[in-house]
Amino acid sequence: QKEVEQNSGPLSVPEGAIASLNCTYSDRGSQSFFWYRQYSGKSPELIMSIYSNGDKEDGRFTAQLNKASQYVSLLIRDSQPSDSATYLCAVGRILTGGGNKLTFGTGTQLKVEL
């Protein structure tokens, strides 16, 4: 079982629709959760971070975390063509002895169509 799993997609949504991206993780000790957006050939940029169960909203983006189900999602409202990218789910945990580790999923490719 992969540590962080995402559907690779592509996920196609029409412009203006809601895009729903999902991620599951295997380590129950995970404490921090992030969504990054990565355009082709570029490095990831942080979209959202979430640390506790529930929803967190920032503009058109809403992150949802359910630690009991080991599930984190990202909703993008009013999707725009510029949102077309690969979305990486990342899960962090503090390591025994100090330090922390961030594990990335393989990413979901989102295509927003005109």
Q: In this complex, which beta carbon is closest to another protein, that of residue 18 or of residue 46? A: 46
Q: Considering Cα of 101, then 3, then 12, then 68, what sign does the dihedral take?
A: negative
One of 19, 37, 84, 105 touching another protein (CB under 8 A): 105
The tokens describing 1, both together, are: 């079982």
Subset of residues 56 to 85 that bind another protein, contact rule: CB under 8 A: none
The separation between CA 32 and the C-alpha centre of its own chain, rounded to angstroms, equals 12
Out of 15, 46, 57, 80, point to the residue binding another protein (CB under 8 A).
Answer: 46
> Which of these ranges, 9-17, 42-50, 55-63, 68-76, lies near another protein under the rule CB under 8 A?
42-50
| Rounded alpha-carbon distances, angstroms, from residue 8 to 13, 47, 87, 95 | 15, 18, 9, 28
Separation CA 101–CA 91 (nearest Å): 8
# residues near another protein by CB under 8 A = 19
Among 22, 27, 106, 111, binds another protein (CB under 8 A): 106
Please name which of 109, 51, 46 lies closest in space to residue 83, comparing C-alpha atoms.
109
Q: How far is the CB of 16 from another protein (least distance, A)?
A: 28
Interaction site with another protein (CB under 8 A): 32, 34, 41-46, 49, 51, 88, 99, 101-107
